[in-house]
Structure 1
Amino acid sequence: MYHHYFSTPKGFPRPFIHITADHNGIIGVDFVNQINEKERKNVHTEQCIKELEQYFNGERDNFSVILNPSGTHFQKRVWQQLGEIPYGQCWSYKELAIALGSANFCRAVGMANSRNPIALIIPCHRVIGHDGKLVGYSGGLDIKSWFLDYEKNGNSRKIG
């Protein structure tokens, strides 16, 4: 298992993004307040670090790092569909469910979204309630709000 802690930009709600990888790709990205494990990098964490730097510097609006999330077939379908939400836009859970084949999938889509192990890179922050309200984000609504504002305002917040 490989770990790296990426220092977030000034004003971000948590000081670090914890990146976890195995030999096949990134398996986890979450937001933490402290470093809890010794860092051990591999090619996937190095690529992820580079792409996060580019994202936070306004030079990247999607990610190409290899991902290896663990989940059910349906969860993986949802996570793949999340990657289709354009940068700076939001979809409702219903829109996401319809894109997956049925409005009846709303609850299952919400559950899969909440279990996304690779936050930000799989952009679950771009899913909002049907009424436009921010709902459900495992990293916290403060982080979801930060990302949506950052993407909406054209990356006006640069690192440094």
Structure 2
Amino acid sequence: METVTIATPLGFAKISGNSEGLQSICIADEGEATAEIPTTLLDVVQQLREYFEGTRTEFQLKLNPSGTAFQQKVWGALLQIPYGKTLSYQQLTQQLGDPKAIRAVAAANGKNPLWIIIPCHRVIGTNGALTGYAGGLWRKKWLLTHEQGESQQRLF
């Protein structure tokens, strides 16, 4: 397993993977960017940079997250949520075929090991509220605003 840490607008992203695919991306407030990027992780680093620059709306990476069959099913559904769009936990649960499994779906969403790549930040509360995000709600808000193309108001 190879790792690299990169600076992003939201903190330091620690990326892990190998030739079998990307296994995890975690975000932290503190850290230090890695000087050298392993060859197997060059593509993910480039695609994340393009995402943050606003030039990439879809990732084309080989994914290899570790999880249960149910978690994999939920993460697969998350990958279907288009860039710039959101879905409620209830809608996601209905798509998965079991409207009563909302807590299990939310728990699987929270265990997502591939920050941004598997877009768990695109899942919101039924009332439109930003709920539950392992990276912090401020990051979730930033990501959704970034994807919706809303620019900050200028003072001048």
TM norm structure 1: 0.87
Q: Is the 8 A contact 1:5 1:39 kept in 2?
A: no
One-letter code aligned to 1:51: Q
Q: Which structure has more RCO (C-alpha within 8 Å, separation ≥ 6)?
A: 1
Q: State the identity as a percent.
A: 40
1:27 is aligned, of 15, 23, 35, to 23
Equivalent position of 2:8 in the other structure: 8
Cα distance between partner residues in 1 of 2:49 and 2:144: 17
- The structure-2 alpha-carbon separation of the partners of 1:8 and 1:36, relative to structure 1 and needing over 3 Å to count, comes to closer
How many positions carry a matched residue from both structures? 151
Cα distance between partner residues in 1 of 2:133 and 2:39: 28
1:137 is aligned, of 133, 136, 151, to 133
Q: Residue 27 of structure 2: SS of its match in structure 1?
A: strand
Deviation per residue, 1:114-160 (Å, 9 max, x gap): 00000100000000111111111111111111101111126x59xxx
Structure 1 residue 36: deviation in Å? 8.9
| Structure 2 unaligned regions, length at least 5 | none
Deviating 4+ runs (over 4 angstroms) = 36-40
Q: Over aligned residues, Cα RMSD in angstroms?
A: 1.9
Equivalent position of 1:103 in the other structure: 99
Equivalent position of 2:109 in the other structure: 113
